[in-house]
Amino acid sequence: MPPPAQLRLCLCAAAAAALALPGDYRLAGLFPLHSAGPRTDASPLARGCDDNAVFKSHGYCLSQALRFTIEEINNSSTLLPNVTLGYDIHDTCSEPANLHATLSALIRKGRQDVQLLPTLQHYEPQAVAVIGPDSTQLALTTAAILGIFLVPEISYEASVETLSVKRLYPSFLRTIPSDRQQVKAIFLLLQHFGWTWVALLGSDNTYGRGGLDALQKLLTTSDVCVAYRGTIPINSDTSNPELHNLVRILTDVKVNVTIVFSNSRSARPFFEVVVQRNITGMVWVGSEDWLLSQIIWQVPGIQTIGTVIGMTVEKPESVMLERFESWKMAEEGAAAKCASTAEAGGEPGGSCTQHYTGCYSLTAAPNVFDAQASFNVYSAVYAVAHGLHNLLGCASGACSKGTIYPWQLLQQIRQVNFTLYKSRVSFDASGDICKGYDIVMWNWSGSSWASDVIGTFHVNPDRLSIDPGKVLWHTKDSQAPTSVCSKACEPGEWRLQQSRHRCCFSCAACPLGTFLNRSDPYSCQDCRLDEWAPAGSEACFIRTVEFLSWSEPLSWVLLTLAVLLMLLMVALAVLFALNASTPVVKSAGGKMCFIMLGALACTCSSLFCYFGEPTRLACLLRVPVFAVSFTVFLSCVATRSFQILCIFKLNARCPALYEAWLRRQGPLLFVAGSTAAQAMLCLAAEVTGPSVPLRDYGAQPDRVMLECAQSAAAGASTAYTVLLSVGCFALSYAGTDLPAGYNEAKGLTVSLLLHLGFSAAVLCSQGALRGRAEAAAKVLGALGTLGALLGGYFVPRAFVILLRPQQNTAEHFQMAIQAYTRRWAAA
């Protein structure tokens, strides 16, 4: 029976054999095989770790992944034919051990010191490349030292973004995505679920602080607000008051989503306190370091904390894991045989075997973390092998062995591009692998813990996809929780910020003429001049250009009336021309009737300038043609009324007045002078304020009014026309008792009264009507005036000519004059 020391010697000899392997080119593997604490004698012990170190099965599993990969490559006949790879596995249980491992890798080949040549170009270290270490803190030291010698270093778990700075760490690469990508994935996840009010927690180390800094920098430029940022102390337990204070603050700020960017060692005591303080219903967004860590989901009562969702490195193919497990079983069988030999001597060796074979089944759900990290190690070793393949010219079927220098191999590794079990391995300019993440959610629906992949995050370009059917919310209503400081505004409402947080606001509708651009929800933007927007709008609309078009039904009606009036004027002119010698035509003014009808025709023709899109010519002719021609008509009416009044009323009292009126060409002078005065007013109007096409944007918010500009002088012209109309009305009213044959005053008085009424209505509507309505009102008012004047002055005489010819005789007119004279004498 071998003594216990002999059993321990057997196991330690097996462990030592697993830590080094000679080869043509050696790799240095840096793995956390132990951590500080009490140690079991049966666990493998590496140089630099004291007897109190605790065996770490995760680090041991990764070291076995390196051994498995190198053995697989050495057995390959295509990747590195006739070349063998060796390795030296170092235990990075502490910073001194990590530094010692780094210096050991830098020992010159065949020497036991780190003596340098005058130049580093031909420096040949013991290891051609370094795999590891795992933590960011250790990787920063290792990368800084190895970068001086340009020795390729490929880490499998160090993800801090700082290591991507090639100016500081020129030879560092990694097969785990950079935290820069993880931060982008977390940000897109928050945006996907609409979480804008969150808390940030990170471990008090380089990993946690770097992740929080990058995440907060990204969130600051977005619509996500950080309600609170805190630090989880390291090397603490549930009795630490800082942890209890962190949890209390989370409840005080009333956030429903907390991002925990921490390593698993710091995260465990924090979640233990969360369970103690009975925090439920929260959403915890986790970083890849702790999300699938067994020491986290084994915290008693953690299934009550709510929903846990986060990032993990893409899950490796099961084929590689199955092959790795088969290899491990064979390796562990050899170790167990040594232990069985010892047991045959009477010594129990069960505990020895248990600790030495601490790398569990990688295909089981709880060990996804080990599986992902193992595949990262697998990819890192293959990256070195492909770099050697290219450097040694192995494509020809045989490698040309020879001296290689670290900087040469580094150049080749940066350029590798190959596939491992459907996973692409290549590095960008920063030495980061081009790999995304799986979006994973904890699942407590069964009897034990499980994790479900509910989505993915892909890079180049960055995009996040979530499968809604796989999402299982651990909330009271099983619905996606909200985490906002203020409820979202309705469409078209802008945010009035109430505090330093952009997410805390009140809502107000954007005023008329402005719109809310979704890219800037904190201010309303003005629409362009040719656009408009109603209150509370998210877009501007093209204004409707409004004018009295030729093609619309209203225009057809008005144009028909205008044409009918002009035809009536032509018919009256023809009728009066055929009966020019009759008393009725002579009493109406004789040849002056044709001047009056021509003036009314010109007045009617000016109405056509109100139709269609206003032009310079139409605006120029619209008012002057109407005003001058209508002034001619009114002047003729006033002259005719004055003459009749003089004949029958004023001649007896002042006979010289009528004679002077006729002798000095009073009618002609009055008509010419009145027309000239109106023409001068119109000319002054065009000089002082030219009537040009005008686009009025202020009349209505949704329309552009196409009009002709009007000046104060144009108003004076209109006032002159009204004044002349009032004078005509007074003269016609004074002659309402004249003989019936000459008495057009009654009809004319009514016509002028209608004309004044229409003019007043048009003037009053100018403030209330704009655009096409205003133009239509002016045309309709003018048509009413023309129709009233024709009906009051010319139509009654046409009626007598056509239907009562017996009244169109000299005898009839003479009898009317005698009757009027007798009444006047009796009076």
pLDDT in tens, 90-105: 999 888 888 888 888 8
Neighbours of 433 (CB within 10 A): 24
More confidently predicted of 48 and 11 = 48
Supply 792's token pair.
């009051």
Place 670 in a pLDDT band, splitting at 50, 70 and 90: confident
Tens digits of per-residue pLDDT, 18-43?
A: 689 999 999 999 999 887 554 444 45
Supply 444's token pair.
């407590």
What is the 3-class SS of 515-573, one letter each residue?
A: EECCCCCCCEEECCCCEECCCCCCCCEECEEECCCCCCHHHHHHHHHHHHHHHHHHHHH
Distance from C-alpha of 471 to C-alpha of 450, rounded to nearest angstrom = 13
Distance from C-alpha of 112 to C-alpha of 282, rounded to nearest angstrom = 56
Kindly report which listed range (96-110, 484-498, 569-583) carries the lowest average pLDDT score: 96-110
Handedness of CA 268, 270, 271, 272 (dihedral sign): positive
What angle, rounded to 10 degrees, do the helices at 745-765 and 712-734 form? 160
**Nearest of 314, 350, 250 to residue 40 by alpha carbon:** 350
Neighbours of 303 (CB within 10 A): 15
Distance from C-alpha of 149 to C-alpha of 144, rounded to nearest angstrom = 10
**Residue 804: what pLDDT?**
80
**Residue 743: what pLDDT?**
47
**Burial (Cβ within 10 Å: 0-12, 13-18, ≥19) of residue 315:** middle
| pLDDT exceeds 50 at position 12 | no
Q: Does residue 22 have a cis bond before it (omega within 30 degrees)?
A: no
Show the CA angle centred on residue 157, arms to residues 154 and 158, nearest 5°: 75
Tens digits of per-residue pLDDT, 696-713?
A: 888 888 888 888 887 666
**Residue 127: what pLDDT?**
92
Place 406 in a pLDDT band, splitting at 50, 70 and 90: very high
**Residue 292: what pLDDT?**
87
Place 718 in a pLDDT band, splitting at 50, 70 and 90: confident
Which residue type occupies 677?
A
User: What average pLDDT score do residues 280-293 get?
Assistant: 91
| pLDDT exceeds 50 at position 350 | no
Kindly report which listed range (106-120, 305-319, 433-447) carries the lowest average pLDDT score: 106-120
Mean pLDDT over each residue of the chain, to the nearest integer: 82
Tens digits of per-residue pLDDT, 76-92?
A: 889 999 999 999 999 99
In this structure, what DSSP letter does residue 36 have?
S
**Residue 590: what pLDDT?**
78
**Nearest of 387, 359, 377 to residue 316 by alpha carbon:** 377
User: What average pLDDT score do residues 688-697 get?
Assistant: 83
The secondary structure element, H or E, covering residue 29 is strand 25-31
The secondary structure element, H or E, covering residue 28 is strand 25-31
Tens digits of per-residue pLDDT, 731-741?
A: 766 655 555 44
| pLDDT exceeds 90 at position 772 | no
Cβ contact 233:201 at 8 Å: no
Supply 137's token pair.
């803190």
Residue 488 CA to its chain's centroid (Å): 15
| pLDDT exceeds 70 at position 314 | yes
Tens digits of per-residue pLDDT, 584-600?
A: 787 777 788 888 889 88
| pLDDT exceeds 60 at position 818 | no
Cβ contact 810:581 at 8 Å: no
Neighbours of 756 (CB within 10 A): 17
Percentage of the chain beyond pLDDT 90 is 31
Q: Does residue 491 have a cis bond before it (omega within 30 degrees)?
A: no
**Residue 475: what pLDDT?**
79
**Residue 328: what pLDDT?**
83
| pLDDT exceeds 60 at position 776 | yes
Place 349 in a pLDDT band, splitting at 50, 70 and 90: very low
**Residue 353: what pLDDT?**
38
**Residue 229: what pLDDT?**
93
User: What average pLDDT score do residues 111-127 get?
Assistant: 66
**Residue 257: what pLDDT?**
94
| pLDDT exceeds 80 at position 275 | yes
**Residue 10: what pLDDT?**
41
In this structure, what DSSP letter does residue 426 have?
E
Handedness of CA 817, 818, 823, 824 (dihedral sign): positive
Cβ contact 544:712 at 8 Å: no
**Residue 1: what pLDDT?**
35
What is the 3-class SS of 264-313, one letter each residue?
A: HHHHHHHHHHHHHCCCCCEEEEECHHHHCCHHHHCCCCHHHCEEEEEEEE
**Residue 107: what pLDDT?**
82
User: What average pLDDT score do residues 525-544 get?
Assistant: 90
| pLDDT exceeds 70 at position 644 | no
Which residue type occupies 310?
G
| pLDDT exceeds 80 at position 62 | yes
| pLDDT exceeds 70 at position 185 | yes
Neighbours of 5 (CB within 10 A): 9
Residue 735 CA to its chain's centroid (Å): 78
**Residue 815: what pLDDT?**
66
Kindly report which listed range (347-361, 412-426, 719-733) carries the lowest average pLDDT score: 347-361
Strand partners, 433: 427
**Residue 428: what pLDDT?**
92
User: What average pLDDT score do residues 228-233 get?
Assistant: 93
The secondary structure element, H or E, covering residue 96 is helix 95-106
Q: How far apart are the first and last CA of the chain?
A: 169
More confidently predicted of 404 and 752 = 404
| pLDDT exceeds 90 at position 175 | yes
Cβ contact 425:418 at 8 Å: yes
